[in-house]
Amino acid sequence: MLRAISGLPVNDRERAQIRQVIVSLLDRHTDDMSWRLIIAEAVAGLDPTATERAQIRTALLDMLARTTSTGKARKAAGKLLDLKPTADELGQSSNWVIRLNIKLFAAARQNSPTSAWLAALPGLSRQATHHRKTHWAR
């Protein structure tokens, strides 16, 4: 249903109302990781505001920190790319079951002030190689 809504022709006001309703679902489905992925996909297709992107990123980052499923982690990392992650946010990646990839590095660089990127870079580089047997985000 959410995928169908994101493809509907609507005006800006209606799109904003739909986004608000979809984002509010995060509060009701905080422990359901599959729902978080569906919600992130739906919101990304509706031209979200910076605040809405931040809300969805927070939910996905929490999911990435808690999941033990590499498949769900890869999907969440892929959704992060559409939501403009920052270097500070990716600093949490040492808890992930997947390593950072070049696409997430590039997105964080693009979405972070240079000073924040340079400050976070040593930690991000360590986290990209943190686990010997972890899987790469694709």
What is the number of other CB atoms lying within 10 angstroms of the CB of residue 29? 14
Q: What is the pTM of this model?
A: 0.78
Nearest to 77 by CA among 55, 53, 54, 101: 101
Residue pLDDT, tens place only, 18-57: 888 888 887 676 667 787 888 888 888 788 889 989 988 9
Q: Which residue type sits at 5?
A: I
pLDDT on residue 132: 42
Pull the structure tokens for residue 83.
């939501």
Residue pLDDT, tens place only, 67-126: 888 998 999 899 898 899 999 998 877 778 888 888 988 999 999 999 998 888 888 777
CB 73 within 8 A of CB 137: yes
The helix (run of H) or strand (run of E) holding residue 75 is helix 70-82
CA 23 – CA 36 distance, rounded (Å): 10
Query: Residue 133 — very low, low, confident or very high, per pLDDT cuts 50/70/90?
Result: very low
Token pair 């999911």: residue = 63
Q: Which residue type sits at 94?
A: S
Return the half-sphere exposure (C-beta side, CA atoms, 13 A cut-off) of residue 34: 0
Indicate if the pLDDT at residue 1 is higher than 80: no
